[in-house]
């Protein structure tokens, strides 16, 4: 294994000190003092689109922190370069994704040597159609749909989103964001000529073709909320586009999708704990949007279309009738309301149905039980089958393709030790065909690594699954450094999948651990609901319990753990380090949601109204205000010793605005009593997801990994 010796973080003599500008905020009879509220630019919406518009005082402070961070990490620059080289060596430079058959073409995606972004292309499908995705033949004729490398060549930041071809296969709708603010522009490209039309539609969130000349799309408003659905006809002025749906409740967002059958378009309107779906019959040019079931408190559902011998139906994934972990129901398209839903796959407590796919003869779904996923499917006879997997911890992805009249599907499998594999399964015969495995050019021997699943007992007796990965030569005697990752919000489960980047830590003797804390849905909806509202603190207790469990079982030792979380996972690590800072050697908080109370009480921010179903509404409820105030990392910074900390931010970030991590660091620097490194690294030209490009993003990983290695090296020397 690789050595971690001679790594230091050399702090410059003076850290940047943010000015204090006392601001008083009063709510529910409570007055709070915020010395760093000035870091929230009054023109933040403009600055999000164009960071050059950031006020000078704020820009100067962020740049000073960046310079301090760079100088502090100068001693790790050789390591960072080595890490980038290692991680790049595990990426196949020239790579082809599996073709996706659709009508007369196989649609494909590839990467070229040195290319940061994919190239989308298609080839003519071979003579004679096959229902097997694996056997779909293709000719040598190739048409480039779009080369993202060329489109991105003149931009420092470039994120593409839509790449959707029309039903007649002649026009490509594609979109991109060049600032990181997630304001996407949508273009239309003539596939035959490779030229874009003059029409450009601004601020598009999602889009789907209704027919070969009509596209439905959602657009974000000035508060970055996707609350309107428009219908555009090719060749017309977007200013004349018909407004099909307008959601006026700021808590709800709109999305558009099309059934795999091609018959219906769906407008999904939802927030975290309520859904409402409308549909349009695409066979009727005059059709208006129709409601399936009106929103109601606690009702969540999604819909797809199914045609079989019983008729024209909708399949509904829903939680009605007490099915907390969801069930599958069917209803006639002529009578789609909830009163007509008939269950065909009842809910099972603790087995969370996450997603489903519909074909002509088959319905399949992905479910998670005790932090392990499974694939189920049934035919028109109603008999349910299940695919089983043997590893102690693993991850699955369902890749169902786009065609409707097939009896095969693809799925992706990996584990912390096993690179991604793509398989095709034939529902009629039960045959499994291996299609592709992730290639690690620099080499990977799965038997060199060990994956374990352990269980930590939280403060209230809850059993928290923890997934572990370490090299077989790593001593399990309490001496190994450990990186503990967690998220724990919005019901988002952290998969136990393969990451080639992690190997750069594991090969240096780290144990890599994922704590599946409450707030995710690894153990069903109840696992998520146990960390909502005033019970959010359960996530933090679970994380601490995971750390203590790993210490007690000799995977690591107190003071030799780095905790890592991003976005709402940043809240997890931020609250945890306030509660028990002495457990840890370091904290990596990526774009962390740490100024929770100020954000959730500010209904002008993009996500805030929709967040009230997670955290409570502190504007209306004093109980919600008090609960959030009790754990909000920014509000609970205290005069005490903290471990070494690396905090990141993005000026264009619409999800966690840059001033949250900036304020947190400023307050920590003013109050903490230790001399450990506290670093703020703000990307001045990107948003929530950092650098774009498959190689460029490795620099962000390398920076964080170098920090983790350095702080645990010094902790080990101290211990």
Q: How far is CA 422 from CA 124, 412, 438, 604, in A?
A: 23, 4, 9, 44
Nearest residue to 330 via CA among 352, 345, 348: 345
| Cβ neighbours for 3, distance < 8 A, ≥ 6 positions apart | 508
| 102 phi/psi in degrees, rounded to 5 | -155, 110
Pairing of strands 95-96, 105-111: antiparallel
**Directed axis angle between helix 537-552 and helix 622-631, to 10°?**
30
Q: Helix 77-89 and helix 697-718: axis angle, to 10°? A: 120
* CA gyration radius, the chain: 26
539 is catalytic: no
| Annotated catalytic residue within 106, 203, 595, 653 | 653
Q: How far apart (Å, rounded) are the C-alpha atoms in residues 550 and 545?
A: 9
Nearest CA-CA partner of 604 in 44, 219, 32: 44
Can you tell me which residue has the tokens 């100024």? 595
Choosing from 567, 613, 632, 714, which is the catalytic residue? 567
Contact of 649 with 681, CB cutoff 8 Å? yes
Would you tell me how many other CB atoms lie within 10 Å of the CB of residue 209? 20
SS3 for 287?
Answer: coil
Of 161, 163, 125, give the one whose Cα is nearest residue 146: 163
621 catalytic, yes or no?
no
Angstrom CA distances, 679 to 545, 590, 643, 689, stand at 27, 12, 11, 19
CA dist 615 and 618 (Å) reads 8
Residue with tokens 């409820």: 621
- Collapsing DSSP to helix, strand or coil, 79 comes out as helix
d(CA 322, CA 590): 37
Residues contacting 75, CB < 8 A, separation 6+ = 7, 8, 9, 10, 710
Nearest to 8 by CA among 717, 713, 719, 718: 713
Identify the active-site residue in 117, 688, 704, 714. 688
Residues 695 and 623: beta-carbon distance below 8 Å: no
Q: How far apart are CA 469 and CA 446, in angstroms?
A: 11
In b/e form, how buried is each residue of 378-405, taking b as 16+ CB within 10 angstroms?
A: bbeeeeeeebeeebbbbbbbbbbbebbe
72 catalytic per annotation: no
Positions marked active-site: 567, 653, 688
């Amino acid at each position: 294994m690789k050595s971690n010796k001679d790594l230091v973080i050399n702090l410059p003599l003076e850290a940047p000190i943010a000015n204090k500008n006392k601001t008083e905020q009063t709510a529910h009879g409570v007055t709070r003092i915020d010395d760093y509220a000035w870091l929230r630019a009054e023109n933040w919406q403009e600055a999000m689109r164009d960071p050059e518009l950031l006020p000078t005082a704020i820009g100067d402070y962020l740049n000073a922190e960046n310079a301090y961070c760079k100088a502090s990490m100068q001693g790790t620059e050789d390591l960072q370069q080595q890490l980038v080289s290692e991680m790049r060596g595990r990426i196949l430079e020239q790579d082809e994704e599996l073709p996706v058959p659709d009508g007369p073409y196989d649609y494909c995606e590839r990467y070229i040597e040195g290319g940061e972004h994919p190239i989308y292309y298609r080839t003519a499908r071979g003579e004679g159609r096959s229902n097997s995705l694996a056997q779909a033949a293709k000719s040598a004729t190739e048409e480039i749909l779009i080369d993202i490398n060329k489109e991105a060549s003149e931009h420092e930041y470039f994120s593409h989103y839509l790449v959707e071809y029309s039903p007649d296969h002649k026009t490509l709708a594609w979109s991109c964001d060049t600032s990181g603010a997630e304001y996407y522009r949508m273009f239309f490209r003539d596939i035959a000529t490779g030229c874009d039309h003059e029409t450009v539609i601004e601020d598009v969130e999602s889009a789907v073709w209704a027919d070969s000349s009509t596209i439905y799309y959602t657009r974000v408003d000035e508060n970055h909320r996707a609350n309107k659905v428009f219908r555009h006809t090719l060749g017309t002025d977007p200013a004349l586009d018909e407004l099909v749906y307008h959601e006026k409740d700021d808590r709800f967002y709109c999305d558009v999708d099309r059934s795999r059958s091609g018959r219906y378009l769906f407008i999904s309107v939802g927030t975290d704990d309520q859904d409402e779906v409308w549909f349009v019959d695409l066979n009727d040019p005059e059709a208006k949007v129709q409601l399936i079931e009106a929103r109601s408190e606690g009702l969540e559902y999604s819909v797809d279309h199914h045609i079989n011998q019983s008729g024209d139906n909708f399949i509904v994934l829903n939680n009605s009738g007490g099915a907390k972990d969801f069930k599958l129901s069917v209803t006639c398209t002529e009578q789609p309301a909830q009163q007509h839903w008939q269950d065909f796959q009842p809910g099972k407590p603790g087995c969370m149905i996450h997603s489903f796919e519909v074909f002509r003869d088959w319905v399949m779904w992905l479910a998670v039980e005790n932090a392990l996923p499974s694939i189920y499917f049934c035919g028109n006879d109603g008999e349910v089958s299940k695919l089983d997997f043997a590893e102690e911890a693993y991850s699955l992805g369902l890749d169902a393709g786009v065609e409707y009249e097939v009896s095969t599907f693809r799925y992706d499998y990996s584990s912390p030790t096993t690179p991604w594999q793509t398989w095709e399964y034939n529902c009629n015969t039960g045959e499994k065909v291996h299609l592709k495995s992730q290639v690690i050019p620099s080499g990977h021997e799965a038997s060199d690594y060990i994956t374990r699943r352990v269980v930590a007992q939280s403060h209230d007796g809850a059993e928290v699954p923890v997934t572990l990965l370490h090299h077989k030569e790593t001593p399990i005697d309490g001496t190994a450094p450990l990186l503990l990752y967690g998220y724990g919000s919005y019901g988002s489960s952290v998969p136990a999948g393969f990451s080639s980047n992690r190997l750069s830590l594991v090969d240096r003797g780290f144990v890599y651990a994922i704590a599946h804390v409450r707030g995710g849905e690894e153990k069903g909806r109840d696992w998520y609901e146990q960390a909502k509202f005033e019970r959010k603190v359960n996530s933090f207790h679970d994380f601490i319990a995971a750390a203590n469990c790993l210490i007690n079982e000799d995977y690591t030792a107190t003071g030799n753990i780095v905790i890592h979380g991003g976005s709402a996972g940043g809240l997890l690590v931020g609250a945890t380090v306030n509660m028990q800072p002495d457990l840890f050697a370091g904290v990596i908080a990526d774009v962390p949601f740490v100024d929770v109370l100020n954000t959730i009480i500010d209904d002008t921010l993009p996500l805030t109204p929709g967040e009230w179903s997670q955290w409570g509404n502190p504007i209306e409820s004093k109980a919600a205000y008090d609960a959030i105030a009790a754990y909000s990392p920014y509000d609970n910074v205290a005069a005490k010793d903290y471990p070494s900390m690396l905090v990141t931010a993005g000026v264009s970030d619409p999800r966690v605005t840059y001033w949250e991590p900036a304020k947190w660091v400023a307050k920590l620097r003013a109050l903490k009593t230790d001399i450990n490194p506290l670093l703020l690294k703000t990307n001045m030209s990107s948003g929530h997801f950092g650098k774009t490009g498959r190689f460029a993003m490795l620099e962000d990983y390398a920076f964080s990994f170098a920090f983790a290695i350095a702080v645990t090296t010094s902790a080990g020397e101290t211990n």
